[in-house]
Chains A and B, each alone.
Chain A
Amino acid sequence: MNLPIKPPKLDQAVGRLTGQAIPRLEDRRFLTGRGRYVDDIVLARQLHAHFVRSPHAHARIVSLDLSLARTAKGVVDAFSAADLAELGDIAPNWVVPGSKVKGRPPLARAMIRHHGEAVAVIVAESLAEAVDAAERVEVVYEPLAVLADQEAAMAPGAPRIHPDLADNVATRFPVGKGFDEAAQGADLRVAFKLRNQRLVPFPMEPRAVNADFDDATGRLTFYCAHQLPHLLRRMLAAAIGFPEQKLRVISPDVGGGFGPKMHFYPEDVVLAVLTQRLKRPVKWTETRGENISATTHGRDHVTHIEVAARSDGKILALRINSLANVGAYLSSMGSGVPTVNVALFVLGLYAIGHVEVLITNVYTNTTPVDAYRGAGRPEAAYIIERTIGRVALELGLDAADVRRTNFVAADQLPYRHPTGIGLDSGQYEATLAKALEQADYEAFRAEQVVARQEGRLLGAGLATYTHSCGVGMAELMGPIGFDRGGFESALVRVHPDGRVTVLSGAHSHGQGHATTFAQIAADELGVPFEHIEVLQGDTDLVPMGVGTFNSRSVSVGGSAVKIAAARVATKMRKLAAHMMQADLEGVVLEAGLFRTTGGNATLTIQELGRAAWTGQGVPRDLGIGLEETEFYHPHAMSAPNGAHIALVEVDIETGEIALRRYVAIEDCGVVINPLLARGQIQGGLAQGIGQALYEDAAIDAEGMPVADPPIPRSDMMPWMEIDFVCTPSPNNPLGAKGIGEAGALGAPPAIVNAALDALWPLGVRELDMPLTPQRVLAAIAAATAGRERA
């Protein structure tokens, strides 16, 4: 078979290893079934926990009786909220100022506020026994009226999810003003509404915890599938009142994260307490059903958009009013993701002078919503790109031209939006041009005209995107209420035998840090790449770090590795110069051997390593060892960007959308490993295409989540055509920008714009994701009925 595989063309300077498409160092264990995930870990005297969960989305707990369950075979004990009275609610880690915080209770006390909320936990010798005993738990619920939808929850007189609050508003977040003034004299004013639907993140490995308290040492080892081991340690220690230095979080191999595995959950706290009470290790692995109702969801915004534009497509002003469904409680980042991460990014890559945004976070009887791949920025990209697409269609202009008309110009960079967000670097016109060329855009437009005459519906959809990656600066995180550091740690150690250990506070859950970070370190140190081992995910081992989210691992974590490795390299050269009695400038290291450029003295890295770690023959002022630690704290973030094009054909009879081609051109700055970067783009695109065409975690009026969310399968995905442009970021030593979230930002608007482009002549103006055949047919029918009425 002939697959259209094009090696990426990179217009960037590459190092010996940096920039090379190298297969991963860490693959072998995964390929041979030897990955080690939390559920693979079984400890001596292992106990198993099973949570009893509410079948109702809103109810009062009238009574709860665990006595029968406690006497069931194999059961060690069972607990309800009353048994864990010392525990408070789970505190969010990001609280936007002014938010009314209602954290998740570890176990429901008197009220159930979403389906799947845990009311009790049973601990038994085996999981089967714990599950069996759950049938002997007697809970009487008094079901209450369910509010699952944010618009319903905001209706006047709506029941309150938290009766001690005045209404169901969790946060109000206004940004900017002046729409009406700026819209004066516009040639076009349009108002429309869109929904960015709720999604289930669905990592293939569900959450898993194994909590192991040792009462002889007073240490608690907490195995957890997590993206932020150090932050989890801090949050957990604070929640249970445990000395942080005695709490060890180990996050071994993690089977996908996508956001939800960076949060702090009720089950974490409960297991940490149970292992201390029972003095035995307690393990819990989420079932897929629990993953769907107890692990955080993503998106779920209803947005009203007003746009004012000139007849040439220049946008004068934008007004956004969104209701964000945050679920029953504020999860870790639940107040910030739908507000800060949306409102500040709604201008995309466009120089739009006036923007007015109001985002209201709304409590409902649904699973809490939090960061999911892109975390607010996909919502922002969807808003602005749907708006640009709408303006183009309304004015009869080409969608590419309207984008060019509005782009921030090259000579405006670096640029600051009125919302405060910075764009550091890019070539927006060139990136778009490359995408148009790759997609044969002109030819497609010609084909579209002919097809229309034949009654076939073709559509081209464009989307650009940007966001800020590489969080970030403590000075910015403090004022927005984000209680975590923006730095990342790296320790680089050259051993006496010349082999290298890199410890990193970032944590791969599939991204491949063991390879990319080794590439970065190898270029600095001049040692063979295979001699470098990158270790992560153990708070006893790794210097205090932050973790992996916000496409930050390379730009922040990788920069820390580069800086630490460079310092070690400098020391190696100084020591080598001393040992070879040469000038510092004349020392080079190649493949583990030091040479002097002038003379013919040589020194092996092993000789150097031994000297450094014994101190013998080493001047005192050089100190002992070859080891450096860097806590890299960025001064600014980067703004990756890209241009995506979807070419679709809509079947007017069946409503099916065929994605004929999908093109993504990405400017993620300097690419460390194009093979892995492509993997990140494809994975993000799969989730973005999934959102556009298939996925929906719609919660019904009774508050029931969808039992089997349609996650894309191999035969539901198109071939993705991916290429790069490279504008190095000036904001970090690597020039990297971030790539993990790109696809999830670009694909939804590109595909929906394509569908609307195809259906516009039929009078279709509104279409919400996912673009199921039923929905497309309904939109066509509604448009036809509207035309007939008119």
Chain B
Amino acid sequence: MHHRKISLTIDGRRVVSEVEPRMLLVQALREVFGVTGPHIGCETGRCGACTVLVDGQAMKSCMMLAVQVCDVEITTAAGLAQDGVLHPLQQAFHERHALQCGFCTPGMLCAAVDLLAETPRPTETEIRAGLRGNLCRCTGYQHIVEAVAQAAPAMALQGI
């Protein structure tokens, strides 16, 4: 199989590489670019552990080929904190104990960023619906729901 060239921005860093056409985006992020925040929990689009923001939209990176994402901007959990200051969602996840093993967390955060971009003041039902694509086996989701609700006004205030 012939390798194809891709170039994209990951967490503000411009990268270029050659990948096999069949390589999944999540594999490229992890194995080619060493960005290991997106995790592989299923590789079939069911768990959301691989969720990243592609041009601001939450996407499951196991459901895309690396060659599909030329010239896009990808943000992972590693790119949410700015100058060492946690993003309001990261801060709220911390304060509300919305993570245990942390395996779902990078994907969950990206899904939550997208959720709050679409619905800045969500109800509990809207938060639960907005995160339904992201499985967490540790927390029972309650602290995650609390954290997203807590982060919403802070994000609105900061205009994120």
Contacts and interface: CB of A to CB of B under 8 A. Distances in A.
A24 interface: yes
Interface in B42-58: 42-44, 46-47, 49
Contacts of B144: 714
Nearest to A512: B100
Contact of B139 (A683, A708, A715): A683
B142 A253 contact: no
A36 B145 CA distance: 25
B70 interface: no
A69 B99 CA distance: 42
Interface string A231-273: 0000000000000000000000111111000000000000000
A32 B85 CA distance: 10
A1 B105 CA distance: 23
Interface residues of A, number: 58
A34 interface: yes
Interface in A23-44: 23-24, 27-37, 39-40, 42
Given A204-B49, A510-B100, A717-B141, A32 B90 contact: yes
B15 interface: no
Contacts of A35: 36-37, 102-103, 105-106
B99 A713 contact: no
B20 interface: yes
Most buried by B among A5, A128, A682: A682
A535 interface: no
Nearest to A26: B102
A682 B136 contact: no
B97 A30 contact: no
B40 interface: yes
A204 B140 contact: no
A30 B108 CA distance: 11
B2 interface: no
A679 B138 CA distance: 8
B140 A203 contact: no
Given A204-B103, A288-B41, A720-B140, A3 B97 contact: no
A400 interface: no
A339 B156 CA distance: 55
A253 B37 CA distance: 13
A511 interface: yes
Contacts of A5: 146
Contact of A39 (B40, B86, B102): B40
Interface string A511-529: 1100000000000000000
A257 B100 CA distance: 11
B107 to A, nearest CB: 9
B80 interface: yes
Most buried by A among B121, B133, B142: B142
B93 A31 contact: yes
A101 interface: no
Nearest to B143: A679
A728 B62 CA distance: 48
A687 B138 CA distance: 9
Contact of B140 (A42, A509, A682): A682
Given A3-B124, A202-B137, A256 B100 contact: yes
Contacts of A687: 137
A186 interface: no
Nearest to A255: B103
Most buried by A among B36, B97, B99, B143: B97
Contacts of B105: 30-31, 35
A31 B140 contact: no
Most buried by B among A42, A205, A678: A205
A32 B80 contact: yes
Contacts of B81: 31-32
A720 to B, nearest CB: 6
Contacts of A29: 102
A510 B138 contact: yes
B131 interface: yes
A668 B40 CA distance: 35
Given A204-B135, A678-B97, A719-B142, A253 B149 contact: no
Interface in A627-644: none
Nearest to A689: B140
Given A205-B39, A287-B43, A715 B132 contact: yes
A5 B96 CA distance: 11
B3 to A, nearest CB: 12
A258 B138 CA distance: 9
A160 B141 CA distance: 44
Most buried by A among B36, B100, B101: B101
Contacts of B123: 1
Contacts of A256: 100-101, 103, 137-138
Contacts of B59: none
Contact of B101 (A40, A205, A206): A205
Given A3-B146, A204-B137, A24 B101 contact: no
B127 interface: yes
A81 interface: no
B76 interface: yes
B46 A708 contact: yes
Contacts of B103: 35, 37, 203-205, 255-256
Contact of B47 (A204, A676, A715): A204
A719 B145 CA distance: 10
Contacts of B138: 204, 256, 510, 679, 683
Given A32-B78, A288-B42, A714-B145, 4 more contacts: A3-B145, A32-B81, A32-B90, A510-B102
Interface of A: 1, 3, 5, 23-24, 27-37, 39-40, 42, 128, 202-206, 253-258, 285, 287-288, 509-512, 675-676, 678-679, 682-687, 708, 711-715, 717, 719-720, 743
23 contacts: A1-B122, A1-B124, A24-B94, A27-B93, A30-B105, A31-B86, A31-B90, A31-B99, A32-B80, A33-B77, A35-B36, A35-B103, A35-B105, A37-B39, A128-B22, A205-B41, A255-B101, A288-B43, A288-B47, A676-B97, A682-B143, A687-B137, A717-B140
Interface of B: 20, 22, 30-31, 35-44, 46-47, 49, 76-78, 80-81, 86, 90, 93-95, 97, 99-106, 109, 121-125, 127-129, 131-146, 149
